[in-house]
Amino acid sequence: MVGSVRWIVGLRTGVVLALVAAVALLLVSLAPLTTASAVEPSTTESPTTLETSTTLESTTLTSSTSSSTSSTSTSSTSSSTTSTTGPTTTTTTAPGRVDTYFTGADRYATSIMVSEKAYPSGAPVVVLVKGTDFPDALAAAPLAVAYGGPVILVSPTGLTQPVRDELKRLKPATVFFIGLPISLRDVVSRVLPAAEVRTIIGRDRYETATLIAGELKKKVGSISKIVLVPGDKFPDALAVAPLAAQKGWPILLTPQAGPLPAVTSAKIQALGATSALVVGTYVKPPLPIPAGSVVSKVGRDRYYTGAMVAEYAQSMGSTFVHIALATGENYPDALVIGPYLALDSGILLLTLPTSFSPPVNNLLAKYQDDLKMVDFVGMAKSSLLSKRLVTVPIPPPPPVYPELRWGSTGTAVSALEAKLSALRYDIGRADGVYDEALRDAVMAFQKTEWLGRDGVAGLAVWKRLETARVPAARYYTSSSHIEIDLSRQVLFLVSKGTVVKILPVSTGTAATRTPAGSFRITRKLDYWRRSYLGLLYMPSYFYGGIAIHGSYSVPTYPASHGCVRIPVWATAGIYYQMPVGMSVRVYY
């Protein structure tokens, strides 16, 4: 029996040794193939690991060698390899760039990871906000940076153990408790019995933002500029948080379609700000700030708006040396990284989950030599985005686009007139002079194409003109009709389904909205009419006392008492193209 056991053990040992020898031989034979293919070895990542890698790149292929660091981070250094044959792509390199991945198991874990990175030795202040909505956390970013602490997302149902542990690690003397259920205040006090808990809770998000602004002013003293963003739409507002936090500008909220809440207007006056940055909304309500001191940044979508904010931030002192990439499809990741970026004058870029949006791709190509620190928020190292940032193609030199404005003359103006006229924008007389009519045509084009509305033919206008087409009418009729797009603030004259004339308009404010629906021209007056609300030039009525009429005041935003204002110079031309009985379609 003993001999049998020894024989079995010996047999098993021999089999194991044979297998080990075979595996070793196989690895030796595959080693050259692995080196030649330069494939990055895969790694298994913990969903709550903060990973940092330093990238040293060559032409088109890189290989990566991982080395472990502390228990909370992993650092990898890439060595260059030779490129293989194939299609040639002009690329640039980013030597020494540090990539950091903030990817928690959920939004709460990610916020803790950012807190650990930003404040490894603790912080005097912590700002706690709901992780289930964006307005409070967005408005809290400047407050957190001013007081020297992180923004941590909290579930409104309770403090998780990781959040409790992070609070104990930070040991703050003060906790700002913003917009959370009052029941959690006692929980925070038990976790941090020595800390002062300051509660900031308004009747709604708009009032809460004003209360946060008041606390910010107590800390920074004076407020030179306020930031106004939509309180009901998160995407456009996210990118401005690092800049506002860096500068100490309070972030105030307004409904994207207006009107400006009374509590917000009152707070702007109380803060004594002399300028404003309006992001993500075309609504420009009367602000207690000089009109020339209001800067607007609104793109065709969240990604274009974010890119516009990024370049504006650079003009204000931020840099592309340290950037963060976060998805524009959701808000938690972008919210928590904003205050961290502000500490380093960094810039936040919003992008698609699996590819760079065109404006972000352009910025990365433009500033790729500046990139030294890139934070991937909510993205694993294996994500497509992190791999695509290894090398960014260099775009060809852009063509020279002259900036044209009121008073400009010459062949460039004539070219602009020709392009706009071909797209059916009413330019008045084509005379090579940038006059009021051409400015209004540019404004109508900017509105239609969701560009910034300033009436100046700059880079954005010229680039869009390269691919723009005649806008499509929403409705088809066998004859002519009028369409008024309340969202874009433009009027289309449509003939048999084709847009033949486009004018800028200003419709009713949020308090005196222009009615949407299907109407017809009921009566017309071919002279100036003085109503109790003001002068109406050649009004064409389509709904009671509401008319399409000429006005000397046609701002870029809804400003009328319900009528549809059009420029005086263009009124006579379209007046006779709108007979009584013509259909008028008004829509958002």
Do 241 and 302 belong to one domain? Answer: yes
Q: Which of 461, 415, 447 is nearest to 566 (CA)?
A: 447
Share of the chain above pLDDT 90, in %: 56
The residues, ordered by sequence, that sit 6+ positions from 188 with a Cβ below 8 Å of its Cβ are 128, 159, 167, 175, 177, 195, 197
Q: 365 and 434: one domain?
A: no
Q: What three-state secondary structure class fits 225? A: strand
Residues 172 and 257 both lie in one domain: yes
In a domain, 472, yes or no: no
Shared-domain flag, residues 415 and 355: no
pLDDT at 54: 41
Q: Is 30 part of any domain?
A: no
Q: Residue 246: what pLDDT?
A: 95
DSSP secondary structure of 64-98:
EEEEE-STT-EEEEEEE-PPPSSS---B---TTEE
Return the pLDDT at 7.
Answer: 37
**Which residues share a beta bridge with 566?**
550
What the block records as the tokens of 574 is 């379209």
pTM over 0.85: no
Range of the domain at 200: 101-388
| Per-residue model confidence (pLDDT) at position 438 | 96
Cβ of 13: how many Cβ atoms within 10 Å?
10
Q: Is residue 30 scored above 90 in pLDDT?
A: no
pLDDT at residue 120 tops 60: yes
Q: What is the pLDDT of residue 137?
A: 83
Q: Which of 442, 465, 488 is the last residue of a domain?
A: 465
Whether 208 and 334 map to the same domain: the answer is yes
pLDDT at 85 over 60: no
Most confident of 32-46, 54-68, 376-390, 573-587: 573-587
User: What was the pLDDT predicted at 389?
Assistant: 61
Burial of 511 (0-12, 13-18, 19+ CB in 10 A): exposed
If asked whether residues 582 and 448 sit together in one domain, one would say no
**Residue 410 backbone zone (phi > 0: left; psi -120 to 50: alpha; other: beta):** left
Q: What is the pLDDT of residue 382?
A: 54
Q: Where are the beta strands (DSSP E) in 174-308?
A: 174-178, 196-200, 225-230, 251-254, 275-279, 294-297
pLDDT given at position 22: 44
| Confidence check: pLDDT of 79 > 60 | no
- Looking at residue 283, its pLDDT comes to 60
pLDDT surpassing 50 at residue 408: yes
What is the predicted pLDDT for the residue at 492?
A: 98
Highest mean pLDDT among 84-88, 127-131, 282-286, 583-587: 583-587
Residue bearing the bigger pLDDT, 20 or 311: 311
43-52, 168-177, 327-336, 432-441: least confidently modelled range: 43-52
CA distance 246 to 455: 31
User: Are residues 249 and 301 located together in one domain of the fold?
Assistant: yes
- Tally the domains of the chain: 3
Q: What is the mean pLDDT of residues 522-543?
A: 94
Classify residue 191: in a domain, yes or no. Answer: yes
For residue 535, which of 519, 512, 548, 552 has the smallest C-alpha distance?
552
- The per-residue pLDDT for 125 is 96
Distance CA 580, CA 262 (A): 41
Both 380 and 454 in a single domain? Answer: no
- Is residue 42 classed exposed, middle or buried when 0-12, 13-18 and 19+ CB atoms within 10 A define those classes? exposed
> Do 180 and 280 reside in the same domain of the chain?
yes
Q: Please, what is the average pLDDT of the chain?
A: 81
Structure tokens at 566: 């059009």
Q: Which is more confident, 391 or 548?
A: 548
Q: Is residue 52 part of a domain?
A: no
In a shared domain, residues 502 and 574: yes
Q: Name the phi and psi angles at 450, rounded to 5.
A: 60, 45
Band (545; pLDDT cuts 50, 70, 90): very high
Q: Is residue 32 a part of any domain in this protein?
A: no
CB 489 within 8 A of CB 558: yes
The pLDDT tens digits for 196-218 are: 999 999 999 999 999 999 999 99
Same domain, 437 and 497: no
The per-residue pLDDT for 225 is 95
Burial of 22 (0-12, 13-18, 19+ CB in 10 A): exposed
For strand 490-495 and strand 480-485, is the pairing parallel, antiparallel, or unpaired? antiparallel
Encode 551-569: b = buried (16+ Cβ within 10 Å), e = exposed.
beebbbbbbbbbbbbbbbb
| Confidence at residue 81, expressed as pLDDT on a 0 to 100 scale | 30
Q: Residue 56 has what pLDDT?
A: 32
**Confidence class for position 534, pLDDT limits 50, 70, 90:** confident
**CATH number of the CATH domain containing 494:** 2.40.440.10
Cα(570)–Cα(434) distance, integer angstroms: 16
Determine, yes or no, domain membership for 109.
yes
**Does residue 461 have a pLDDT over 80?**
yes
Judgement on whether residues 264 and 164 belong to the same structural domain of the protein: yes
**CA angle at residue 306 from 300 to 308, to 5 degrees?**
75
Residue 125 lies in a domain: yes
Q: 151 vs 154, 198, 322, CA distance in Å?
A: 10, 14, 19
Contacts of 534 (CB under 8 A, 6+ apart): 551
Q: 165 pLDDT band (50/70/90 cuts)?
A: very high
**CB 301 within 8 Å of CB 244:** no
The mean per-residue pLDDT over the stretch 460-467 comes to 92
Strand order in the sheet with 294-297: 251-254, 225-230, 275-279, 294-297
pLDDT at 571: 96
Q: 3-class SS at 279?
A: strand
**Which residues are paired to 492 by β-bridges?**
483, 502
Evaluate whether residue 215 is within a structural domain: yes
Residues near 235 by beta carbon (within 8 Å), at least 6 away in sequence = 280, 301, 302, 305, 306, 328, 331, 350
* Amino acid at the residue 246: Q
